[in-house]
Amino acid sequence: MQQWTSQKLAAESGNPSALTDMGYAYHKEQVPSETENVTLPKSIPKAIALYKSAADQGYAPASSLLADIYYYGEKVDHVAASIYLNKVLSQTSTTEPDDAYIRTKSEQKLGVIAHSSSPSDKPTAIAHFNSALQLSRTHLKSNWAFILDHDPPGLWENLESESKQLDDVPSLQKNFSGFFTPPNFNLENPSNIVALRSYTLALRELETADESFAMMFQLESLETFGANSACGSWGVTYLSSFFKVIGNAYVQKALSRDGAGGKFVVLGSALGGERGGVSEASVCEAILSEASLCENQLERKRASN
């Protein structure tokens, strides 16, 4: 509560950062109440008013958050979203690295809006997407800011850790030690471990450096799922998640059965931020928990027969 009081005083003095932080608290239901560990209900009108006070002072993060209110779910209004997205562009610079992420996402969202307009303005959409990709490649050295809906916690640390894993082929083999694996993945053949390493490196190169892939994915997602669907989101799944899933007791039990066959596919997620604050680890746990329930149901069915 003391921190909130200090923030409120700074906002009352007109500090744009404090105004934005207060707006975010109302936006995301984080305003503390008099009762300990209880927050007040979200208030989008209060969030908008606070964001506008900061945006009118030229504070780009506030303009971006205002755009998100109209771009995402609370009050979908692409005309209003476009106003604030363009405001972000006017309040930031193409040559300033610190502005690169917020500009990349603003250009991308403007592209999505142009693509989903009636009639669809694909040339304008592609121009915005190209601008977004150029910013991401120039200042952020990859396509990640473009292909991911948000910046997942631990992205760079996890990628660095994965890179070290991939450089140590004996350790990759050790990670699989004692595992039952799909029939199409024979651990006794070292070339399969090398193939797993090569595939993962190729995927990361595609995600990180291939602009044509990023553009293709964006356009195909829009054509398939539309503008505001999370179904078209790209997620990064780390190699460690693959090991975690394939090593799960229920997965191992299924693979150890006589006659087990077919391909093994690991589905993962990088859900987080605007998509509910769910970590990849917790998503994996949820998937495995569901697999456990399914396994138990199958065992009961077999027993009843």
Count structural domains, the chain.
Answer: 2
Residues 229, 127 within the same domain: no
Could you tell me if 189 and 108 lie in one domain?
no
- Percent of the chain beyond pLDDT 70? 78
Q: Record the tokens describing residue 46, joined without a space.
A: 């209060």
**Model's pTM, two decimal places?**
0.78
33 and 171 share a domain?
no
* Inter-residue contact 175 to 166 (CB < 8 Å): no
Q: What count of Cα atoms within 13 Å lies in the side-chain half-sphere of residue 270?
A: 20
Contact 253, 213 (CB under 8 A): no
212-248 pLDDT, tens digit per residue, is 999 999 999 999 888 766 667 887 878 887 777 777 7
Q: What integer pLDDT is reported at residue 181 of this predicted model?
A: 65
Query: What are 43's two structure tokens?
Result: 């208030």
Q: Is residue 149 in a domain?
A: no
pLDDT digits (tens, 9 = 90+) for 142-171: 999 999 988 888 888 999 999 998 888 787
Residues 161 and 291 placed together within one structural domain of the fold: yes
